[in-house]
Amino acid sequence: MQAFVATLNAAPIWLIVLIKSAVLLLVVVTTFAYAMLFERKILGWMQLRPGPNRVGPWGLLQPAADAAKLILKEDLTPKTADPLIYRLAPFISLLTAFSVYAVIPFGQSSSGVWAIGNVNAGILLILAITSMGVYGISLGGWASGSKYPLLGSLRSTAQMISYELAMSLSFVGVLMLAGTTSLGGIVHAQERLWFIVPQFLGFIIYVITAVAETNRAPFDLVEAETELVAGFHTEYSGLRFGLFFIAEYVNMLTVACVATLLFFGGWNALFGLVMVPGVIWFLLKVGAFLFFYMWLRATLPRFRYDRLMAFGWKILLPFATANLIVTAIIVAFRG
C-alpha cells in the first residue's frame, strides 16, 4: 500500500487527472443508470404499481437492457435535418453535462479535497459550464428541421435564459455568507450551520430554478408530450436520443450535488456522527435530493407556458434580488 501511494505521488499530473476522470466517469454513468431505475420504481410505487420488475431481481438489470436496446436501434436522420448540427447537438449536451464533474468535490481528506481539479472559482465555473448546456437542446431542436422540435427548442431557450438569472442570484447569497467562491471553502464555512437555515429563501429559489434548468417536471414544457410529441428530441432515435437522455439525468445529478455543496453542508456529518466518512454523507444527501426531484415529478402537473415566464420574471427574480439585498445588509453589519 505504501509503495502504491508512493508511485501515485510520483506520477505526472496528467496521468493522475486521467485516472481520476476515468473513475469518476464510470461512477457517474453507473449512477445515471440506477437513477433512471430508481425513478421508474419510485414513480411506480407512488402510482400504486410495481415499476420495472422483469429484467433480473427487482428489475436491477433493466438499465443494461435499456442500453442494449438504445444501441441496437436504427439511427435515423430526417431528410429535412441539417446533418452536421443534428449530429453535433447530442454531444454538446453530453459534454457540458459531464465536464461539470471536473470541479465538483466529493469529500475531504488531510491532503485536500477529493476532486479532479480543485478550482478556486469552482462555483462560477459550474455556472459557466451549465449555461452552455442549452446549446445541445436549442441546436438539436433547430437542426431536426421539423416544427415540434423547433417549438420545443425555442421554449427551452427562453425558459433557460429566464431562470438562469434567478439561479445565479440565489448562489450569490451563499457566496456572501461563505466569503469564497471555492466549493471546498463553501463546505468548510458550513461546519457549524448549514446554509439552508440562513438562506432558506435562496434554497427555495435554487430548487425551483434548478428544476426548470434541467427541464424536469413540472417545468418540462420543452418535451411536453401532450402538445409537442417529445419536444426537441422528437426526431432523434437510438443512441443519439440516448445521449440526450444521459445528459438530462447527469444534469439532475449535478443539481443534486450543487444543492448538497451549497445548502446541505456538503460532506459535513449530521448529528455529530463523524466516524461515518464524508463521502457517504455526501452521497446520502445527494440521494435524498434526487428522491425529492422524483417526488416532484410524481406530484405536480405541468406549468402553462405563459405562467412559467411570468413566474420566472415577476416572482422569482424580485424575490431573489430581495434575498440578495437582505443578505448583503446582514453580512455588512456583522462585519
Partner 1 sequence: MILFWILSILLIATAVWTITASKPVYSVVGLLAHFVALAVLYLSLSAEFLAVMQIIVYSGAILVLFVFVIALLSSGVAPFSVGPNRLPKALVPVMGIVIIAFGMLIYAVSRTSMPAPTGQTLGPVGSAGVFGSVADFGRALFTTQLLPFEVTAFILMVAVIGVVLLAGDAMESSGSAAQAKQVHREMREAILREGDR
Binding stretches for partner 1 (CB under 8 A): 82, 84-85, 88, 119-121, 124-125, 127-129, 131-132, 134-135, 138-139, 141-143, 145, 150, 153-154, 157-158, 160-161, 164, 181
228-264: b or e for each residue (b if 16 or more CB lie within 10 Å)?
bbbbbbbbbeebbbbbbbbbbbbbbbbbbbbbbbbbb
Residue 251 cell numbers, joined: 444534469
Closer residue to partner 1, CB minimum distance, 161 or 322: 161
Q: How many CB atoms lie within 10 A of CB 333?
A: 7
Cα–Cα dist 245/93, whole Å = 10
Nearer to partner 1 among residue 101 and residue 142 (C-beta): 142
Least distance in Å: CB of 132 to partner 1? Answer: 6
Q: Which is nearer to partner 1, 88 or 298 (CB)?
A: 88
Q: Is 94 helix (H, G, I), strand (E, B) or coil?
A: helix
Cell 424580485, residue located: 318
Q: For partner 1, which is the closer residue by CB, 125 or 169?
A: 125
Per DSSP (E only), the strands in the chain are 108-109, 112-113
Place of cell 455526501: 282
What's the min distance (Å) between Cβ of 125 and partner 1?
Answer: 6
Q: How far apart are CA 213 and CA 166, in angstroms?
A: 11
State in angstroms the smallest separation of the CB of 121 from partner 1. Answer: 5
Minimum gap (Å) between residue 216 Cβ and partner 1: 20
CB-nearer residue toward partner 1: 40 or 188: 188
Least gap, CB of 124 to partner 1 (angstroms): 4
* Residue (134 or 196) nearer to partner 1, CB: 134
Nearest by Cα to 210 from 320, 99, 324, 90: 320
Distance CA 190, CA 143 (A): 45
CB of 138 to partner 1, least distance (A): 5
CB of 9 to partner 1, least distance (A): 18
Q: Cα dihedral angle (243, 248, 253, 256), rounded to 10 degrees?
A: 170
| CB closer to partner 1, 129 vs 247 | 129
